[in-house]
């Protein structure tokens, strides 16, 4: 008789005995030598395989259920591990002594005890590693997502839910904030369930979301109106008015933020002018992530990255500026501004009510938060000015860090906000001219013809078509302004150079190139002071296409790293949350542990000249659109 895992008595006893002895040792070596964390769901599967079962010759199974309470005392851990090795060693000696016997009750018992002690040791010594989970919640332009990461940067589980966007008038984009909160509760509950972890093992929570927009709430955090999303355009006339009167120049001198239609400051001014009664009901103006924070904790806060991008924070003093409020006619609403935290500061704990709704443990600290463009940069592992950060999703976000407040930019080129990293600022060029343009083409012209395929095979087919045509073979130019442009707000998307010779492949390649050229246009504006970058790190939907990513490397002529994690914004605030709850000491150690590069794309120097010429044609197309819409 001997012992085996459930349903494994059909194996030859020698083979089974070898598996029983080797598997715990391998696990222990992997853990001790390489520091691989053993997640609970994986460990449970392994324990079920190695669980003790005595197999008698009459094939009667008796499973012994044995549980060892976990301890956290260091001496207990060391003693337990030592006993495990001793027992395993004696079991090995007994096996040699009775090598001619298939099994032995004594060997089975020793095997069982040694395996139990080893797994208990792994649980206890690795218990801290296994319980180091972080939750990141990202409320984006189209979806809300909740992701759980471990301390090694592994994405344990992600759950997303598409949000309903309302358009009560042309140019308006709103959301029912009660529904947004319900969606957040749902994805948090589901991601905890999907991960299989104990919610008490979540050390900290990080929050992020689209920047700007507007959420107006009362003292208790209840919305007084729908939330306004960052794609809203109702404030454009206010922006135009500010430019005609040189008001924008005065504002820029204080905040280094050019006015735009969905900026929090612009929207507050719009509500004051058009719906003052609603504004008077509010106690706080919040970003979307800070609205979720208040629902989770009952406390109203913003963070320094969000506040510095919202237009009402003085970039020189890093405090709310009464003059900025006054310039926008908001001098009587200074009290609506929430207190500002650092990105790793504790911003409350999960309340009993929120715990019941989300499945989180009451008292879990909310210790990380930042604007999504900062979160994406942090999750890219960028901690200095040498690396360019590119995010190519719904928006094209192009940004870099600068040490100290730099004055080489202006309101017509780029925006500056406080970075997550102490002493650093984030210089940014963002525009809605990215992969969403291709999504529109796919949904309007490709999916209806082949609905049975689904998007995955269609993406693969598009990549194949683009790769089948060299850059020299197509001179079609696509300007990706389907969803407007930060630099050309009145312009619309357009194809140039279409002929009867043009095929679907030519058109799709032009869309790929147009999105990349738009990013190149903004990167050039970031480099007007002669700045150069050693490499770029790219994230967003574009990275799902190797063809498209290689095109970006060829156009920019710099190496491009693609990150392993798929939910970078959520991972970024998880890193901040990990620092805030003491899991990491600083950004350097946190990113070293959590950020992993999946692949690096190197530029093809042979394509430098052809893409230089094609980009020049793209700039001519932009000028033509400016003339057309003037």
pLDDT tens, 572-604?
999 999 999 999 999 999 999 899 999 999 999
* 213/207 Cα distance (integer angstroms): 16
Token match 């027992």: residue? 87
What is the model's pLDDT at position 410?
A: 62
- Please state which architecture CATH assigns to domain 132-370: 2-Layer Sandwich (3.30)
Q: Is the pLDDT of residue 44 over 50?
A: no
Is 314 within 8 Å of 232 (Cβ atoms)? no
Q: Is the pLDDT of residue 409 over 70?
A: no
Is 552 within 8 Å of 543 (Cβ atoms)? no
Q: Is the pLDDT of residue 365 over 90?
A: yes
Q: Is the pLDDT of residue 97 over 90?
A: no
pTM for this model (two decimals): 0.79
What is the model's pLDDT at position 460?
A: 95
What is the model's pLDDT at position 84?
A: 56
Summarised one tens digit per residue, pLDDT across range 604-627 is 999 999 999 999 999 999 999 988
Q: Is the pLDDT of residue 228 over 70?
A: yes
Q: Is the pLDDT of residue 73 over 50?
A: no
Q: What is the mean pLDDT of residues 270-299?
A: 98
Q: What is the mean pLDDT of residues 278-287?
A: 98
What is the model's pLDDT at position 202?
A: 97
Q: Which of 595, 590, 604, 510 is nearest to 556 (CA)?
A: 604
Q: Pick 387-628's CATH classification: 3.40.50.11540, 3.40.190.10, 3.90.1150.110, 3.30.420.40.
A: 3.30.420.40
Task: Mean pLDDT check: name the lowest of 173-177, 214-218, 286-290, 444-448.
Answer: 444-448
Sequence-distant (6+) residues with CB within 8 A of 627 are none
Mean pLDDT, all residues of the chain: 84
* 308/416 Cα distance (integer angstroms): 8
Residue 405's pLDDT band, with cuts at 50, 70 and 90, is confident
* 630/519 Cα distance (integer angstroms): 24
Q: How far is CA 613 from the centre of its chain?
A: 35
What is the model's pLDDT at position 29?
A: 41
Structure tokens at 262: 């969905």
Which H/E stretch holds residue 108?
helix 105-125
**pLDDT top residue among 484 and 254:** 254
Residue 394's pLDDT band, with cuts at 50, 70 and 90, is confident
**pLDDT top residue among 599 and 29:** 599
What is the model's pLDDT at position 94?
A: 56
Residue 561's pLDDT band, with cuts at 50, 70 and 90, is very high
Residue 497's pLDDT band, with cuts at 50, 70 and 90, is very high
Summarised one tens digit per residue, pLDDT across range 322-333 is 999 999 999 999
* 137/148 Cα distance (integer angstroms): 9
What is the model's pLDDT at position 62?
A: 26
Residue 40's pLDDT band, with cuts at 50, 70 and 90, is very low
What is the model's pLDDT at position 96?
A: 54
Summarised one tens digit per residue, pLDDT across range 373-388 is 999 999 999 999 999 9
Q: Is the pLDDT of residue 9 over 60?
A: no
Q: Across 64-213, where does the E strand assignment appear?
A: 133-139, 143-150, 155-162, 174-175, 202-209
Is 441 within 8 Å of 497 (Cβ atoms)? no
Q: How far is CA 309 from the centre of its chain?
A: 19
What is the model's pLDDT at position 115?
A: 54
* 420/416 Cα distance (integer angstroms): 13
* 117/120 Cα distance (integer angstroms): 5
Q: What is the mean pLDDT of residues 57-78?
A: 34
What is the model's pLDDT at position 453?
A: 83
Q: Is the pLDDT of residue 126 over 50?
A: no
Positive or negative torsion for Cα 578, 584, 589, 592 = negative
Range(s) within the chain of domains with CATH label 3.30.420.40: 132-370, 387-628
Q: What is the mean pLDDT of residues 504-513?
A: 98
Q: Is the pLDDT of residue 244 over 80?
A: yes
- Classify residue 351 as exposed, middle or buried by CB count within 10 Å of its CB (0-12, 13-18, 19+): middle
* 299/596 Cα distance (integer angstroms): 34
Angstrom CA distances, 390 to 273, 282, 601, stand at: 37, 36, 14
According to DSSP, the β-strands at 415-418 and 424-431 are antiparallel
Is 293 within 8 Å of 366 (Cβ atoms)? yes
Residue 342's pLDDT band, with cuts at 50, 70 and 90, is very high
Q: Which of 65, 30, 27 is nearest to 43 (CA)?
A: 27
What is the model's pLDDT at position 85?
A: 60
| Cα-trace Rg, the chain | 29
Summarised one tens digit per residue, pLDDT across range 158-188 is 999 999 999 999 889 999 999 999 999 999 9
Instruction: Work out the number of other CB atoms within 10 angstroms of the CB of residue 560.
Output: 22
């Amino acid at each position: 008789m001997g012992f085996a895992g459930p349903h494994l008595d059909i194996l030859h006893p020698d083979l089974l005995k070898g598996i029983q002895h080797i598997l715990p040792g391998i696990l222990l070596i992997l853990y001790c030598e390489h520091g691989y964390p053993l997640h609970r769901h994986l460990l449970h599967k392994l324990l079920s395989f190695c669980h003790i079962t005595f197999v008698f010759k009459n094939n009667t199974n008796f499973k012994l259920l044995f549980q060892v309470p976990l301890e956290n005392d260091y001496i207990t851990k060391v003693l337990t591990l030592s006993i495990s090795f001793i027992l395993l060693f004696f079991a090995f000696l007994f096996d040699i002594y009775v090598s001619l016997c298939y099994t032995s009750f004594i060997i089975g018992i020793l095997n069982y005890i040694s395996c139990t002690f080893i797994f208990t040791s792994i649980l206890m010594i690795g218990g801290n590693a296994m319980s180091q989970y972080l939750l990141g919640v990202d409320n984006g332009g189209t979806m809300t997502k909740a992701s759980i990461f471990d301390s090694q940067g592994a994405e344990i589980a992600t759950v997303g839910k598409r949000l309903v966007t309302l358009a009560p008038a042309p140019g308006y984009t709103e959301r029912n904030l009660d529904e947004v909160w319900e969606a957040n509760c749902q994805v948090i509950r589901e991601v905890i369930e999907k991960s299989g972890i104990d919610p008490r093992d979540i050390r900290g929570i990080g929050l992020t979301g689209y920047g700007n927009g507007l959420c107006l709430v009362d003292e208790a955090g209840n919305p007084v109106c729908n939330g306004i999303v960052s794609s809203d355009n109702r404030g454009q006339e206010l922006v135009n008015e500010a430019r005609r009167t040189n008001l924008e120049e005065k504002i820029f001198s204080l905040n280094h933020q050019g006015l735009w239609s969905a900026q929090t400051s612009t929207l507050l001014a719009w509500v004051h002018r058009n719906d003052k009664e609603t504004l008077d009901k509010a106690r706080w103006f919040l970003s979307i992530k800070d609205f979720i924070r208040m629902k989770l904790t009952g406390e109203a806060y913003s963070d320094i990255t969000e506040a510095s991008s919202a237009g009402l924070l003085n970039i020189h003093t890093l405090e709310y500026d009464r003059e900025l409020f006054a310039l926008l006619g908001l001098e009587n609403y200074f009290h609506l501004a929430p207190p500002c935290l650092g990105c790793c500061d504790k911003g409350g704990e999960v309340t009993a009510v929120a715990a019941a709704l989300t499945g989180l443990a009451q008292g879990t600290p909310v210790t990380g938060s930042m604007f999504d463009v900062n979160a994406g940069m942090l999750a890219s592992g960028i901690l200095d000015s040498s690396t360019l950060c590119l995010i190519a999703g719904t928006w094209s976000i192009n940004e870099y860090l600068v040490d100290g407040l730099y004055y080489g930019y202006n309101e017509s080129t780029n925006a500056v906000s406080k970075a997550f990293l102490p002493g650093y600022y984030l210089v940014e060029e963002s525009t809605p001219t990215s992969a969403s343009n291709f999504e529109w083409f796919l949904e309007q012209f490709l999916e209806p013809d082949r609905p049975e395929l689904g998007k995955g095979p269609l993406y693969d087919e598009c990549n194949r078509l683009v790769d089948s045509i060299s850059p020299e073979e197509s001179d079609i130019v696509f300007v990706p302004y389907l969803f407007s442009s930060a630099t050309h707000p009145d312009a619309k998307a357009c194809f140039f150079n279409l002929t009867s010779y043009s095929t679907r492949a030519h058109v799709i390649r032009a869309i790929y190139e147009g999105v990349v050229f738009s990013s190149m246009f903004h990167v050039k504006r970031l480099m007007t002071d002669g700045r150069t970058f050693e490499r770029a790190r790219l994230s967003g939907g574009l990275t799902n296409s190797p063809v498209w990513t290689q095109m970006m490397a060829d156009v920019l002529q710099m190496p491009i790293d693609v990150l392993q994690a798929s939910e970078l914004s959520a991972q970024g605030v998880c890193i901040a949350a990990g620092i805030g709850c003491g899991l990491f000491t600083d950004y350097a150690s946190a990113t070293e542990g959590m950020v992993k590069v999946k692949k690096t794309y190197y530029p093809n120097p042979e394509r430098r000249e052809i893409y230089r010429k094609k980009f020049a044609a793209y700039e001519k197309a932009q000028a033509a659109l400016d003339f057309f819409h003037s």
